[in-house]
């Protein structure tokens, strides 16, 4: 209750000043809580079931709070048009309505240009290698060497995502009649599990998660050539406010320990997701 009151007071202050103050590590520890933002409906990385926040990113985030000996408060947020907007909503400016922001945002791509465009945040500590992939039902698609297979077979994808843009553009738009767009990732999962589509596209972890759910379907994860796609793989880490870098640095140790101890692999394996080392 004290915590809540404090948060409310904090957010009132923010409204008054219109500025989000820094929360370096000492302040986080003294306050007794760490606020971490996660994407909603983003299995296997993060999603909500009732009051519970689940997923790989949520599990890693809890290790951060444990390490600092503080409570964790999750801000589970929808994605805006791009990650630059998410960094604004979740970290440096807060949301438009309640002006709440997090101390740390999970699942931020580690990219020099993204970092340069967003100098009010610091991107750090890559903990996962993201790749684009397809999950396919081998009963229908025993081989999948090219996306040409989808000229006459449907494939599901979450609307308005990198996978959607790739498929819409592939073969000069020829796959259009085959694309089954889900409004959410959960809808994509449902389409595949109901065998309404023999394939889905998204990140490799998302596709492994689908395969993990579909015990009655023999699934394979494949990565056919993706001509025209901007990146097939990229690291993701977290981001903190630019004036609270010491918090971010302190938690890089947690990430290195999770990786070197093999704990990271165990976390992702719970969700059927393979963790691969990266340079």
User: Taking the complex as a whole, how short is the minimal distance between the CB of residue 40 and other proteins, in angstroms?
Assistant: 8
107 binds other proteins (CB under 8 A): yes
Interface segment toward other proteins; rule CB under 8 A; list 25-33, 166-174, 213-221, 238-246: 166-174
Position among 34, 42, 191, 240 found at the interface with other proteins (CB under 8 A)? 42
Binding residue count for other proteins, defined by CB under 8 A: 58
Interface segment toward other proteins; rule CB under 8 A; list 96-104, 135-143, 145-153, 213-221: 96-104
Interface segment toward other proteins; rule CB under 8 A; list 62-70, 137-145, 179-187, 216-224: 179-187
151 binds other proteins (CB under 8 A): no
User: Taking the complex as a whole, how short is the minimal distance between the CB of residue 90 and other proteins, in angstroms?
Assistant: 11
Position among 1, 4, 16, 194 found at the interface with other proteins (CB under 8 A)? 16
Position among 37, 100, 137, 268 found at the interface with other proteins (CB under 8 A)? 100
User: What is the Cβ-side half-sphere exposure of residue 42, based on CA atoms within 13 angstroms?
Assistant: 18
246 binds other proteins (CB under 8 A): no
Position among 3, 8, 9, 230 found at the interface with other proteins (CB under 8 A)? 230
What are the residues binding other proteins (CB under 8 A)?
12, 15-16, 39-40, 42, 45, 76-84, 86, 89, 95-98, 100, 107-109, 111, 113-114, 130, 132, 159-166, 168-169, 173, 175-181, 183, 202-203, 228-231, 234, 236
């Amino acid at each position: 209750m004290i915590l809540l009151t404090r948060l409310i007071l904090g957010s009132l202050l923010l409204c008054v000043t219109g500025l989000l103050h820094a929360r370096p590590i000492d302040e986080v520890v003294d306050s007794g809580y760490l606020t971490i933002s996660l994407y909603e409906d983003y299995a296997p990385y993060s999603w909500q079931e009732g009051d519970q926040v689940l997923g790989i990113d949520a599990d890693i985030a809890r290790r951060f709070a444990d390490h600092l000996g503080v409570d964790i408060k999750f801000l589970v947020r929808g994605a805006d048009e791009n990650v630059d907007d998410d960094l604004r909503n979740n970290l440096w400016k807060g949301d438009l309505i309640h002006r709440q922001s997090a101390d740390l945002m999970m699942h931020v791509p580690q990219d020099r240009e993204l970092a340069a465009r967003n100098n009010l945040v610091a991107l750090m500590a890559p903990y996962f290698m993201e790749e684009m992939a397809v999950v396919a039902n081998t009963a229908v698609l025993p081989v999948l060497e090219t996306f040409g297979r989808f000229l006459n077979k449907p494939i599901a994808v979450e609307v308005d995502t990198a996978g959607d843009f790739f498929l819409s553009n592939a073969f000069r738009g020829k796959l259009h009649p085959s694309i089954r767009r889900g409004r959410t990732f959960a809808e994509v999962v449902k389409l595949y599990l109901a065998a309404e589509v023999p394939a889905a596209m998204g990140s490799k972890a998302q596709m492994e998660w689908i395969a993990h759910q579909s015990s009655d379907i023999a699934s394979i994860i494949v990565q056919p050539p993706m001509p025209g796609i901007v990146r097939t793989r990229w690291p993701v880490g977290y981001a903190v406010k630019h004036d609270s870098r010491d918090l971010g640095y302190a938690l890089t140790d947690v990430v290195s320990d999770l990786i070197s101890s093999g704990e990271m692999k165990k976390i992702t394996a719970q969700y059927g997701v393979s963790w691969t080392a990266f340079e």
